[in-house]
Chains A and B, each alone.
Chain A
Amino acid sequence: MAKHIGKQSVKFESKISVISTASTVGTKEGEGPLGQYFDVVLKDAVDGEDSWEKAESKIAKDNLSLAVKKAGLTMDDIEYIFSGDLLNQGTGSAYGIRDLKRPFFGLYGACSTFGESMCLGSVMIESGGASKVLVGASSHFCAAEKQFRFPLGLGTQRPLTSTWTVTGDGAAVLSKDGNAPFITGMTTGKIVDFGVTDANNMGAAMATAAADVILANFKDFGISPDYYDLIITGDLGYVGKDLTIDLLKKEGVDISKNYTDCGIEIYDRESQDTHSGGSGCACSAVTFSAYFFDKMKKGELNRILFVPTGALMSSTSVQQGESIPGIAHAVILENSFEEVI
């Protein structure tokens, strides 16, 4: 059975293997620095559908199916699906997953959803409740802009602190039998709110949650930053990354040497005009599924702390002047598996 460690962490006893991943992205992400790593790069934003929302559901369905296919399984082998997205009532996922006919937990952790999916999927396997689960998360730039910001055709300027929502879906099949990498532990994040109200500076709103959960992970497991080959946050972008480093420095921890953010990796901010970086559920989901999973498989990375980050606000809460609460969940992935003492 899993072991509760410290205040908010879990060490898994079973070998929870990530047996396959799949990533589908939009054209902009395909043109970015990680373009060659993605399984599918869409030709346009609607993917043959007649709305962005329907396109997101289709992307989610197709990509989840692809992850299962890449694992050499059929959808019937999957015992549970854990997935979520940014759209109201989780329709981005649910409408795609309804055709898959598998037991489903719809999750919402804003852009941290992929971390939440991985954590809960792992717990399901560890508990013995399942041997194979499918985890994922999706987002769509156009659908997110429509729900959270302005119509796409409106001629406005985006502030330099703003981030660009990634279009795509990232998915992984977790199994109790399989090869490295393994999910060996997790630290569940608390909701952290330091009073940021600027919805165009999500990196700043989420950085405190990221720093909080990373610090908790170090304390709970009694480790220091160099325990990991790389610490990877979800979608803090350039502004949030700098803030996270500074916040942790104040706590006496220096992660600047082995730390990056998916929102920074996924776009070239100069040529792609993405300002502070990428964001959205798909940002961490596709970057992990395509790029970091590949690096672990090749042995270039052997132990990572993957920390998808989310901002738990809605357009209504922002209009009512509420601050933006952040959340982040940390997942430990390792190529070697050590038995728990």
Chain B
Amino acid sequence: MESSAKNKELYQDMVKKASPNSHIFKNCIKAFVVGGIICCIGQFITNYLKELGLTQNDTGIYTSSVLIFIAALMTGLGLYGKLGKFAGAGSIVPITGFSNSVASPAIEFKKEGFVTGLGAKIFIVAGPVILYGILTSVIVGIIYYFLK
């Protein structure tokens, strides 16, 4: 049982053979359906708000806010985690997934206080998305400025 480079390589092959793979096709279908439903709900809200006479810009903001609220509420009730287990990327990619990734650490780290716990850890999952999202938008903005 020497952990030589050759044995390590052989072992990686053994691990690969012994480890079951996730059901990618089944998961993709589930993600497609659930993600689609979430987007349909968003579209439904948008149409409804338009009916009420809101402008295009305002409907976008209100629709996002409603979806974010629903997902945060579902996270608090312990439902979004269950949805995520079923849907995978289908519930992570829409804006509701972003809401869940902020709300769940907020709940988890509340016990360590509102500043050192909740405050410091709230973006532990969403932080990279926010940072690199903003960074990308700045870069794209600069490119756009020069190409315009």
Q: Which residues of A contact B (CB under 8 A)?
A: 50-51, 53, 146, 150-161, 192-196, 201, 204, 208, 211-212, 215, 239, 242-243, 246-247, 251
* B1 engages A196 (CB within 8 Å): no
Residues of A within 8 A of B81 (CB): 152-155
16 new A-B contacts at CB < 8 Å, known A155-B87, A155-B91, A195-B12: A150-B104, A151-B109, A153-B75, A153-B78, A153-B80, A153-B100, A153-B107, A155-B80, A157-B22, A194-B11, A195-B3, A195-B11, A204-B18, A239-B19, A242-B18, A246-B14
Least CB distance from B74 to A in Å reads: 9
Question: Is B18 a contact of A155 with CB atoms below 8 Å?
Answer: no
A195 → chain B, closest Cβ, in Å? 4
Closest 9 A/B residue pairs (Cβ):
A155-B84, A153-B104, A151-B108, A151-B104, A154-B104, A160-B20, A195-B8, A204-B15, A194-B11
11 pairs from A and B in contact (CB 8 Å cutoff): A151-B105, A154-B104, A155-B91, A155-B104, A192-B1, A195-B12, A208-B1, A239-B15, A243-B18, A247-B14, A251-B1
Q: Tell me if B92 counts as interface (CB < 8 A to partner A).
A: yes
Interface of A is mostly: loop
B109 proximity list for chain A (CB < 8 A): 151
Q: Which residues of A contact B15 (CB under 8 A)?
A: 196, 201, 204, 239, 243
Q: Is the CB of B12 within 8 A of A155?
A: no
Q: Is B83 an interface residue (CB 8 A)?
A: yes
- Whether B88 is near chain A, meaning CB under 8 Å from some CB there, is yes
Digit string of B56-87 for contact with A (CB within 8 Å is 1, else 0)? 00000000000000000001101011111101
Alpha-carbon gap, A159 to B22, bound state (A): 6
List residues of chain A with CB within 8 A of the CB of B11.
194-196, 208
Interchain nearest-CB distance for B99 vs A (Å): 10
A124 to B53: give the CA distance in the assembly, Å. 80
Chain B residue at smallest Cβ distance from A54: B111
Residues from chain A with Cβ under 8 Å of B22 in the complex: 157, 159-160
Q: Which residue of B lies closest to A240 (CB)?
A: B18
Query: Which residues from A are CB-within-8-Å of B105?
Result: 151, 154
B contact residues, range:
35 or more
Q: How far, in angstroms, from A94 to B30 measured CA to CA in the complex? A: 45
Across the interface, do A155 and B19 meet the contact criterion of CB distance under 8 Å?
no
Instruction: Give complex CA distance A161, B22 in Å.
Output: 9
Contact of A194 with B108 at beta-carbon distance under 8 Å, contacts A157-B85, A243-B15 already known: no
Interface presence of B45 (CB below 8 A):
no
Chain B residues closer than 8 Å to A150, beta-carbon distance: 104, 125
Q: Which residues of A are found within 8 Å of B108, using beta-carbon distances?
A: 146, 151-153
B residues in contact with A146, CB < 8 Å: 108
A154 to B88, alpha carbons, bound, how many Å? Answer: 11
Q: Is the CB of B111 within 8 A of A154?
A: no
**Contact of A154 with B20 in the complex, beta carbons under 8 Å:** no
**Alpha-carbon separation in the docked complex, A225 to B53 (Å):** 78
Known contacts being A194-B3, A215-B1, is A154 close to B21, with CB within 8 Å? no
Given A50-B111, A161-B20, A154-B101 contact (CB < 8 Å) = yes
For A194, the chain B residues whose CB sits under 8 A away are 3, 7-8, 11-12
Which residues 73-131 in B have Cβ within 8 Å of A in the complex? Answer: 75-76, 78, 80-85, 87-88, 91-92, 97, 100-101, 103-105, 107-109, 111, 124-125
